[in-house]
Amino acid sequence: MIQTPYLLFLGDAPDQLAAKVAQGIRDWRPDNAVGQFRMEGCGADVKLPDMDLAAAKAAGAKTLVVGVANRGGVISTAWKKVLVQALEEGFDLASGLHNLLRDEPELVAVAKACGRALHDVRVPEVKYPIANGEKRTGKRCLAVGTDCSVGKMYTSLAIDAEMKARGMKSSFRATGQTGILITGNGVPLDAVVADFMAGSVEWLTPDNEADHWDHIEGQGSLFHVSYSGVTMALIHGGQPDALILAHEPTRAHMRGLPGYDLPSLETLRDTALPLARIANPACQVVGISVNTAAMGEDEALSYLAATEKRMGLPAVDPFRQGAARLVDALDAI
């Protein structure tokens, strides 16, 4: 569990895209961040107050979150100077970088001396159980994709936000680095040892009130041969009551796999639903989330209308249209 609120470290991000973790926190959990820390030459701005460490501390910040990708996989001297100073001034550090904070001897030494925590969210911090498959109370929704990186996390965050806006009981359950930094906790599923994958998802989505919804962040795709095992563990460990089908219509082949075509939404539905019903016989497919970012407005709307008619399910792009109709569908089951 990462202590909030955060100060978001944007460092010397060359552009806005490099700061997408910080932007995700800003978009989805604005209350989790009091300000942004930008170094000279920073090309990103997530529209939070610029603060130095002392100002952020005074504003209540507890953790400096590295909200930016670094260049070349090295934590630079300039960055390290800020990170060390943050530890000394009483901040914990949190990062989703490939190169780990814990692999930097200087950070480890200062953190120890100051009694501060280093959170590398790519590394599991919990000894997860083996899944037991027992039915849990409360409701769970999982987005499953025709491919990786088609907007599953965005969809779940948008649904969670809409439910919260309606006063419904709802949690977003992070299973990847960005999601964990956004919410402050979760399971870095792609780094969990095989035997414990499904158990870690059970651990992440425990018994809850009958009318509470967990929105489990999806990973990979049943149709992506590199990561399908991770997706399978989410379906069985999550025992979802509802599946959302996620799709990106303009993709020419599976991400990173040139020889592999994307499945149709029908094939995704007919593959994922029987597998989900092994763990939860009541599971239903309730809607479709389409990432239409690569389409113009007219093209997007007509694609969505045609998909909705063809599949007999609400089909929306939550980025263009919000997630209200997906929440309506979930609320109806």
Chain residues binding a copy of itself by CB under 8 A are 130-135, 189-195, 197-199, 222-223, 225-233, 235-237, 239, 254, 256-257, 259-260, 263, 271, 274-275, 278-279
For CA atoms 261, 264, 270, 273, the dihedral sign is: positive
For residues 93 and 119, the answer to whether their CB atoms sit within 8 Å is yes
Q: Which is nearer to a copy of itself, 123 or 293 (CB)?
A: 123
Token pair of 130 as six digits: 């083996």
Minimum distance from residue 108 beta carbon to a copy of itself (Å): 22
Minimum distance from residue 274 beta carbon to a copy of itself (Å): 7
Helix (H, G, I), strand (E, B) or coil at 311: helix
Minimum distance from residue 20 beta carbon to a copy of itself (Å): 20
Minimum distance from residue 236 beta carbon to a copy of itself (Å): 4
Q: Which is nearer to a copy of itself, 57 or 277 (CB)?
A: 277
CA distance 262 to 244: 17
* H or E segment and range at residue 1: none
- Residue 168's region, left for phi above 0, alpha for psi from -120 to 50, else beta, is beta
Minimum distance from residue 23 beta carbon to a copy of itself (Å): 24
Q: Which is nearer to a copy of itself, 50 or 195 (CB)?
A: 195
Minimum distance from residue 322 beta carbon to a copy of itself (Å): 32
The identity of residue 45, as a single letter, is D
- The distance in angstroms from the start CA to the end CA of the chain is 32
Q: Which is nearer to a copy of itself, 204 or 315 (CB)?
A: 204
Q: Which is nearer to a copy of itself, 106 or 195 (CB)?
A: 195
Closest by Cα among 249, 294, 252, 244 to 269: 244
CA distance 226 to 148: 10
* H or E segment and range at residue 57: helix 53-58
Q: Which is nearer to a copy of itself, 22 or 262 (CB)?
A: 262
